[in-house]
Every structure is written in structure tokens, then in C-alpha cells.
């Protein structure tokens, strides 16, 4: 990518975000209130293999996952240990 976009300093791949699933699993198991009750309850939908077939569940999960993916990519970009 650097050859094609020499001015690019930071980037993240979204398909898939490296390490995101593991990081998300760790957050879901954390007991230190890393995620609020609403986020934890919403992420329980991921345990149902057909959650994405329901448009409302899909929107609910997306509303929680997108900010988490952004936070994860910021952690990666800054080189902050997770």
C-alpha cells in the first residue's frame, strides 16, 4: 500500500480487523466493567448463529461493534498494549 499511497501513515484493515475477535472475547469476559450492561447484553446476540438474519438485531449489534472496532484500531495504531 505504501507504494500506491506514499502519504499514508496509518491504516487498518476492516476485513477482518486483526485480533479484534480475541480482543472482543476478552472484553466480554472481563469483570472490570470494560463494557456496560447494555453492550454486554447486546453482544450476547453474537452467540446466536442466526442473529444477522434479524434486521433489528443486526442494527443493535452494529451500534455496539462499530465503536469497539474504532477503539481497537486506535489502540493498534498507537501501539498501546491491549
| pLDDT by residue, tens only, the chain of 82 residues | 678 888 877 766 656 666 778 888 888 888 777 788 999 999 999 999 999 999 999 999 999 988 888 775 555 544 444 4
C-alpha–C-alpha distance, residues 71 and 51, integer Å: 23
pLDDT given for residue 61 in this prediction:
94
pLDDT given for residue 77 in this prediction:
47
The contacts of residue 73 (CB under 8 Å, 6+ apart) are: 12, 17
Q: What is the pTM of this model?
A: 0.65
pLDDT given for residue 10 in this prediction:
74
State how far the alpha carbon of 4 is from the alpha carbons of 16, 47, 48, 73, in Å: 21, 40, 41, 22
Amino acid at each position: 500500500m505504501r507504494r500506491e499511497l506514499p502519504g499514508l501513515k496509518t491504516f487498518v484493515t476492516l476485513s477482518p480487523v486483526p485480533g479484534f475477535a480475541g480482543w472482543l472475547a476478552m472484553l466480554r469476559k472481563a469483570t472490570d466493567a470494560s463494557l456496560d450492561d447494555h453492550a454486554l447484553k447486546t453482544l450476547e446476540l453474537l452467540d446466536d448463529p442466526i442473529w444477522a438474519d434479524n434486521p433489528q438485531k443486526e442494527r443493535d449489534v452494529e451500534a455496539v461493534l462499530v465503536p469497539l472496532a474504532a477503539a481497537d484500531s486506535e489502540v493498534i495504531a498507537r501501539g498501546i498494549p491491549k
